[in-house]
Every structure is written in C-alpha cells, then in structure tokens.
Amino acid sequence: MSRAALLVLADGRFPAGGHAHSGGAEAAVHAGRITGAASLEDFCRGRLHTTGLVSAALAASAALGVDPAALDAAADARTPSPALRAAARKLGRQLLRAARATWPGVELDALARRFPKGAHQPVVLGVAARAAGLGPQDAAHCALYESVGGPATATVRLLGLDPFDATAVLARLAPEADRVAEAAVRAAHRVAEEGADALPAASAPLLELLAEAHAARTGRLFAS
Amino acid sequence: MHRDHIDPHPGPAVLGADARRPDGTRRALRIGLGGPVGSGKTATVAALCRALRDEVSLAVVTNDIYTREDAEYLLREAVLPPERITAVETGACPHTAIRDDISANLEAVEDLEDSVGPLDLVLVESGGDNLTATFSKGLVDAQIFVIDVAGGDDVPRKGGPGVTTADLLVVNKTDLAPYTGSDLGRMAADAKAQRAGLPVVFQSLREDEGVAAVTSWVRQRLAAWAA
Amino acid sequence: MNTAGVRAEAEIRARADGRGGTALPVLESRGPLALRRTRGSGAAAHVTLVGAMSGPHGGDHFTVRADVGPDARLRVGSAAATLALPGQHGGQARQDVRITVAAGGELHWLPEPLISVTGSELAVHTHVDLAPGARLVLREELVLGRTGEDPGRLTSRLTVRVDGRPVLDQELDCGPGAGGGWDGPAVLGGHRAVGQLVVCDPEFTEKPVEPGVPADGLAVLPLTGPAVLVGAVAADALELRGLLNRAPAFFTPGSPASA
C-alpha cells in the first residue's frame, strides 16, 4: 500500500463534493442536539459506531473486490431514509468522477457504466481505493474519517465552534475509529466469503429522522 | 480555452472540461458569473436569459450561499422554464463549489444537458462572494465578473483575481453613480490598467441599453465555441 | 431454573382454506412460549402469543416461525409486553423470528413492546422473506428499561427481503456495552422508546409513498422496493405507540394493508 495515495484519497480537499454535506450535523444543530464540542463528540462517536461502521465495511468490501452491485443493494437496505440514500448516491457520483480523473482504470469505468447516476459513496470509495493501490484497511479508515470529519468541519461553520476544539474532537475519537476500522475489515473478509448479508447493519434512528427533516426544510447551508 | 483533445480515458461519462459529450456531440458553452454580494449577478443572468432564450437553448445553474434564493428569484421572474434552472448547495462556501471542488456543479450541468438538452449555453452563477472568487477552468469556458458602482469606485483599483483575470468585467448599476459619488472615469481607467486589454462593460439594467453589451459579448463567445 | 437457559420454539403455518378463510394447519409451541388461536375476523386468522413466563432470561433461546401461504391472511399479536430479564447466571438471551409470506399472502405482525430490563442482555433477529405480491405490516417497539430504570443491553436486527432482495436491514444496539454514542445526538439522544412499522405492499410500486416527517420524532421512509418504513423515537412506550398510530391511515396496523 502507498501511504501517500491514502493521504490523497483521505484529504478533505479531494474534490469529491463532500464540502457541501454536514453528515447530519446541520440538522442536529438546528434541533439543538449539537451545541458545542462535547455534544459534537457524542454525535461523531454515534456516527462512528453506526453509519461509520457500515460505510467502512462497505468500502473495505469493495476494496477487496466484492461485487459493487451487491454492496450497493445492501447499502440501500441499510439506509431507510430516501434523503440519505440520495445524498450517498450524489456523493458517490461525485467521488467517482474525481477518482476516475485521479486514478484512471477499468474498474472505476465499469462502475460508472453500471451506476451512471451514482452508487453509494462508500462503495465507490472502496473501488477508488483499489484503483489507488490501497487495501481494505485504508478504505475503512477513509470512510470512518469522512463519517466524522464532515460533521466537525460543518459544526465549525454552523456554530462558530473553535476549530481547535473541533479538531481535538477528531483526535480524541481516533483510537475508537481505529477499533471500528478493524471490526469493519473483519466484516469485509466475511463478506468476501459469505456475501453482502455479512455486512454490519448498525443503525442510528435520529440520523434518519434528522435527515428527512433537513431535506424538507428550506433555508439550509448544507445539502445533507 | 477550447479543449478538443482526445479523451485519454474513454469511459461512460465526461469527466470535466472535455468539450465533447459521451456521444461525441459538442457540449454547451459554459459561462460563469461571479462577483460580490448584491452586485447584480442574478439580475444580469435574468436579463441575459430574456435576451437570449429565443435564439439559443440555454439553462442556468445557481450556487446559493443559503439554499435556493437565487434559483427562486429566477423562477419567480419566469426567465426560463423551471426545468432549465438548477440550484447547487454549497455548504456555506460558494467559492469552493465553483473553484476548488466543482463536482456538484459539473453534475448539475450534465444533468441539465441530459434532461433538457441539447443546450447551446449554460450560465453558472456563483453565490455572492469576495473579490478573490473565480471559477475553475474545469467548470466554465469563460467567466464574467460583476461588480457595481455602489460597492465603491476603488474596487477596480484594488484588483484581485476576479477583477483582473475575468474574461469580461461588468461594472453594474451605473445609474447610481451620481448618488454614490462614484467616479466612473476613474473606475474605467483603473480597470483598464488592471486588466491588460481584457474587456470591460459599464451597464445599468434600468436603462434602455440594459444588458445589450454583455449579450453581444456572449453571442461572440457562442459563435467562437460553435466554430 | 436451567442454568443453560431455556430453548423455546413456536411455529405457525397459515394457509388459505379455499373458502375465502385462513386455516392454521400448524400451531405449535414448546417451552414457555404458547400460541393461542383467538378469533378470526373475515378472511384472517388471529393468533396471540402468550408468554407463560415473563420473557427471555439470560441464556434462553426462543425461536418463532410464521409461514403464510398464498392468499392466506394472518394476524399475530401478543398478550402483553415482553420483558427481557437477566439470567440467574448471566449470559445473553436470543430470540429469532423467522417470517415467510407467499404471493398473495398477508401478515400483520403486531406484538406488544419488548422491554429491556436492567442487567438483561438480549439479541433479537427478525428475518422476513416476502415473495413478490406478498403483504406485510410489522410493528416493532423497543423500550429501554421499565419506568425510571436503566436499560439492559439490547440488540435488535430486522432484515426484510422481497423476492430475495434486501429491502431493509437495520440493527439497533443500545444499553451497557453497546457501541459508543448509542444514547447520543446521532442515535437515540435520550429517547427511551424506539420503534418502527414496516409496511410492504405491491401497490407501492404503482403508487409510491412520499417521504416526510408528519410529527416530531416520526418519519415516513419509502424504501428501495415495495415497502415503507415508519420510524419513531419517543420518551416512553405510550408516546411511541401514539406516534406510530399517527402513521398515514392506510399503514395503520388495525386495518388490512390492502383495504
């Protein structure tokens, strides 16, 4: 694996559209559920163990070469909110564009043909990791970092939270993210053996509810 | 500006600035409009739509800071059918969406070409931003920077990437000059000095001439693109 | 009590009787689970699950199977809430529910809430396999602790397939030892009751349901396939039932989905 390629893929400046999404943070701020660094940390910790774990396992499975269509269907079943499914596909399409330009290859082209309007972002992330010469662990770490990095950045913009505090939240969560990444990679190896049913299905009821409320509201800064 | 090279990675979709669509046809010319908040970008887009909608097939992508304000204005004014107007959400950072990470805008442009195309022209309007906000060449083929008289007659002198490098600089609301004490002559001289021969248009959308000069510049661009 | 825990099984098979009604050729239960045919109304057979004891203790393993044949109609409820209780010697309890519905069959699966008692540890997995053209209304209500009590560990997974394709696969993990942040602002945020209605109806293919948030804590979520999830979070079981009952009228558990 190339550590440098991992940094390129994980960089928040990688031009794949993530800057317009808050990972549910805007809706949580609006609902008064995130009010500062402590509640941001709790929010991000919850994301790590639910949508973060599922995304990381999807990405790691795709990085192992599991059929993206089966993973995409499994991602749909694990994302009851239509607003979140739409956001995941939109981000997947944008990531696919950036990844194809960055690491051209037949697998990414095939994915774009199969999903012209976008596959779930973590599935694309895993295939992109493969194209970049990265492995399942790298893909899992990228997915987990994105699952908390987006909300942290968004909260800085939404609440005027001290950016040092937001970054410290991410640093404090790092050991937990490492453990979730290991679990995701273990699951991915089972998926490669047994199929997509072996993916974790950890859910976060409030994220689903908040996402639908957010999609229905006018006057928002972030797309999701 | 034209990028008629062979796509080195033939695939199902065009990646960015490639001038041809996957089926080999030439895509629409994309013109970006940027500039500070309140300088009249949306009003200029609306006027351009009215002036050009009967002669070319066009669509608009807006990048609002806060949801769909500009798209809603264009819809209210009925300058184009609603299916020809798309709003992109920018996560509080319009300059990111038009310059650093253009993926959502590219997607919006492509979706418009797929749903209402073929198109001759797509206008991509930035949300109001600061003087450094410019469009990526991966997103637009030409860009217009709109400032206004009321924002201070020293803006052209101050320069910045928008003022100095935009393909067309529009100084809007000239009808307000007497009220704001702005020196149009000085603005013209400063702009000329900053822009190394690039064109500048002074306009007032409240006067008969209106958006005519900008429209004629867009027509020239369209002719060059189709050539 | 058996330190190894109790194994209990219950099985229902519902078949169209050819005269517009539904017969129950199999209605079997072993161990502390008991099934009673209560009454039939119209074409549907009604069955009530009666827990002879209060619910699964640590170490117990309960399995419930329901199979609804073509054109048969079955409604299953329970007599009272299920309490997940600690075992004498600790350990996790398991409860598996396996549901299959054939084309033209219809199942209303409407048990009373499952209450996770302090110190208990229960993993529930509900598998639903629907043939194309099958109908389902399934309610699940989870309550974290009796009044004023901390919850035990509760893991509940619900997997729904239509024609073999996954339509819904969700697992909620809460209580001591669950993944971090389970009670935080992304997951439960202090709510002590969480529930869902899953409604599958082939008519959704023709008449898609619009997503929405009809009340605070309640969301209507159309799934990928002929199915809708109505999800709710609430302070307690009563408020939760009230929210789920506010789901659009045609989802209401009491009325046939195909009304």
Q: Give the Cα separation of A7 and A19 in Å (integer).
A: 17
For residue C169, give the nearest of A47, A201, A213 by CB distance: A201
Question: Are A220 and B101 a contacting pair at CB < 8 A?
Answer: no
For residue B11, give the nearest of A18, A109, A154 by CB distance: A109
From chain A, pick out residues whose CB is under 8 angstroms from the CB of B65: 221
**Residue C42 near residue C98 (C-beta atoms within 8 A):** no
pLDDT in tens, A111-127: 999 999 999 999 999 99
Q: Give the Cα separation of C72 and C18 in Å (integer).
A: 9
Query: Mutation test of the interface with chain C: which of A173, A203, A207, A210, choosing the one with the most C Cβ atoms within 10 A?
Result: A203
**Residue whose C-alpha is closest to residue C108's, from C20, C37, C197, C28:** C197
Question: Are A100 and B9 a contacting pair at CB < 8 A?
Answer: yes
Q: Give the Cα separation of A79 and A205 in Å (integer).
A: 10
Q: Does C181 fall in a domain?
A: yes
- Tally Cβ neighbours within 10 Å of residue C112: 18
**Sheet strand arrangement including C93-101:** C22-30, C7-16, C61-68, C93-101, C121-130, C153-162, C165-174
Question: Are A212 and C212 a contacting pair at CB < 8 A?
Answer: yes
**Residue whose C-alpha is closest to residue A128's, from A99, A104, A94, A88:** A99
Considering the four listed CATH numbers 3.30.910.10, 3.40.50.2300, 3.30.465.10, 3.40.50.300, the one that applies to the domain covering B29-226 is: 3.40.50.300
Q: Give the Cα separation of B104 and B110 in Å (integer).
A: 10
pLDDT band of residue B95 (cuts 50, 70, 90) is confident
pLDDT in tens, C167-221: 999 999 999 999 999 999 999 999 999 999 999 999 998 888 999 999 999 999 9
What is the mean pLDDT of the segment spanning C212-236?
95
Q: Which amino acid is at B29?
A: L
pLDDT in tens, B26-41: 899 999 999 998 899 9
pLDDT band of residue B16 (cuts 50, 70, 90) is low
pLDDT band of residue A77 (cuts 50, 70, 90) is very high
Question: Are B67 and A101 a contacting pair at CB < 8 A?
Answer: no
- Tally Cβ neighbours within 10 Å of residue B26: 14
Q: Does A16 fall in a domain?
A: no
From chain A, pick out residues whose CB is under 8 angstroms from the CB of B101: 13, 15-19
From chain B, pick out residues whose CB is under 8 angstroms from the CB of A218: 67-68
Q: Does A14 fall in a domain?
A: no
Question: Are C182 and A206 a contacting pair at CB < 8 A?
Answer: no
pLDDT band of residue C3 (cuts 50, 70, 90) is low
Q: Give the Cα separation of B168 and B171 in Å (integer).
A: 10
Q: Does C4 fall in a domain?
A: no
Signed CA dihedral, B201, B207, B210, B213: sign only: negative
Q: Give the Cα separation of B117 and B119 in Å (integer).
A: 5
Pairing label, strands C7-16, C22-30: antiparallel
Task: Search chain B and give the residue with CA nearest A108.
Answer: B11
From chain C, pick out residues whose CB is under 8 angstroms from the CB of A69: none
B219: CB partners within 8 A, 6+ apart: B52
Question: Are B15 and A100 a contacting pair at CB < 8 A?
Answer: yes
- Tally Cβ neighbours within 10 Å of residue C259: 8
Q: Give the Cα separation of C214 and A92 in Å (integer).
A: 29
**Residue A140 near residue A187 (C-beta atoms within 8 A):** no
Closest CA–CA distance from residue B90 to any residue of chain A (Å): 5
3-state secondary structure at position C90: coil
For residue B67, give the nearest of A15, A116, A218 by CB distance: A218
**Residue whose C-alpha is closest to residue A188's, from A151, A153, A138:** A138
Closest CA–CA distance from residue A15 to any residue of chain B (Å): 4
What DSSP character marks residue C56?
Answer: P
Q: Does C2 fall in a domain?
A: no
Is residue B68 pLDDT above 80, yes or no? no
pLDDT band of residue B11 (cuts 50, 70, 90) is very low
Signed CA dihedral, B201, B206, B209, B212: sign only: positive
Higher pLDDT, B46 or C52: B46
For residue B91, give the nearest of A21, A90, A116 by CB distance: A21
Q: Give the Cα separation of B227 and B211 in Å (integer).
A: 24
Question: Are A223 and B89 a contacting pair at CB < 8 A?
Answer: yes
Q: Give the pLDDT score at C68.
A: 98
Q: Give the Cα separation of C205 and C102 in Å (integer).
A: 18
Interface check for C182 against chain A (CB to CB < 8 A): the answer is: yes
Question: Are B16 and A22 a contacting pair at CB < 8 A?
Answer: no
Q: Please provide the DSSP assignment of C1-45 as one string.
A: --TT--EEEEEEEEEE-SSSSEEEEEEEEETTEEEEE---BTTEE
Task: Output the average pLDDT for chain B.
Answer: 87
Alpha-carbon distance values, B72 to A167, B89, B91, B112, B121 (Å): 36, 13, 18, 17, 20
Interface check for B175 against chain A (CB to CB < 8 A): the answer is: no
Q: Does C255 fall in a domain?
A: no
pLDDT in tens, B146-195: 999 988 889 999 888 899 999 999 999 999 999 999 999 999 999 999 99
**Residue B191 near residue B146 (C-beta atoms within 8 A):** no
Is residue B96 pLDDT above 50, yes or no? yes
Question: Are C184 and A197 a contacting pair at CB < 8 A?
Answer: no
What per-residue string of b and e applies to B57-79 under the rule 16 or more CB within 10 Å gives b? bbbbbbbbbebbbbbbbbeeeeb
Q: Give the pLDDT score at C248.
A: 67
Is residue C259 pLDDT above 50, yes or no? no
Task: Output the average pLDDT for chain C.
Answer: 90
pLDDT in tens, A6-22: 999 999 889 999 889 99
Closest CA–CA distance from residue B160 to any residue of chain A (Å): 23
Signed CA dihedral, A123, A127, A133, A135: sign only: positive
Question: Are A221 and B102 a contacting pair at CB < 8 A?
Answer: no
Chain A and chain C touch, per 3+ beta carbon pairs within 8 A: yes
Is residue B51 pLDDT above 50, yes or no? yes
Question: Are A19 and B88 a contacting pair at CB < 8 A?
Answer: no
3-state secondary structure at position B93: coil
What is the mean pLDDT of the segment spanning C151-172?
97
Interface check for C88 against chain A (CB to CB < 8 A): the answer is: no
Q: Does A154 fall in a domain?
A: yes
**Residue C136 near residue C130 (C-beta atoms within 8 A):** yes
How many structural domains is chain C composed of? 1
Q: Does A95 fall in a domain?
A: no
Chain B and chain C touch, per 3+ beta carbon pairs within 8 A: no
Q: Does A103 fall in a domain?
A: no
What is the mean pLDDT of the segment spanning A76-85?
98
pLDDT band of residue C1 (cuts 50, 70, 90) is very low
Q: Give the Cα separation of B1 and A151 in Å (integer).
A: 38
Task: Output the average pLDDT for chain A.
Answer: 96
3-state secondary structure at position C206: helix
Which range marks the domain in which residue A134 is found? 26-86+126-215
**Residue B111 near residue B84 (C-beta atoms within 8 A):** no
Angle at B27 between CA B21 and CA B31, to 5 degrees: 140
Q: Does C258 fall in a domain?
A: no
* Intra-chain end-to-end CA distance of chain C, in Å: 47
From chain A, pick out residues whose CB is under 8 angstroms from the CB of C243: none
Query: Mutation test of the interface with chain A: which of C170, C173, C174, C191, choosing the one with the most A Cβ atoms within 10 A?
Result: C170
Question: Are A212 and C166 a contacting pair at CB < 8 A?
Answer: no
Other chains touching B, judged by 3 or more CB pairs under 8 Å: A
Signed CA dihedral, A99, A214, B82, B115: sign only: positive
Which range marks the domain in which residue C118 is found? 10-248
Interface check for C157 against chain A (CB to CB < 8 A): the answer is: yes
Query: Mutation test of the interface with chain C: which of A182, A197, A206, choosing the one with the most C Cβ atoms within 10 A?
Result: A206
Q: Give the pLDDT score at B94.
A: 79
Q: Does A18 fall in a domain?
A: no
Domain coordinates in residue numbering, chain B:
29-226
For residue A77, give the nearest of C169, C184, C186 by CB distance: C169
Which helix H or strand E contains A147, and what residues bound it?
A: helix A136-159
Q: What residues of A are in the C interface, CB distance below 8 Å? A: 24, 28, 33-34, 39, 42-50, 53, 73-74, 76-78, 80-83, 85, 176, 196-197, 199-209, 212-213, 215-216
Higher pLDDT, A175 or C253: A175
Q: Does A102 fall in a domain?
A: no
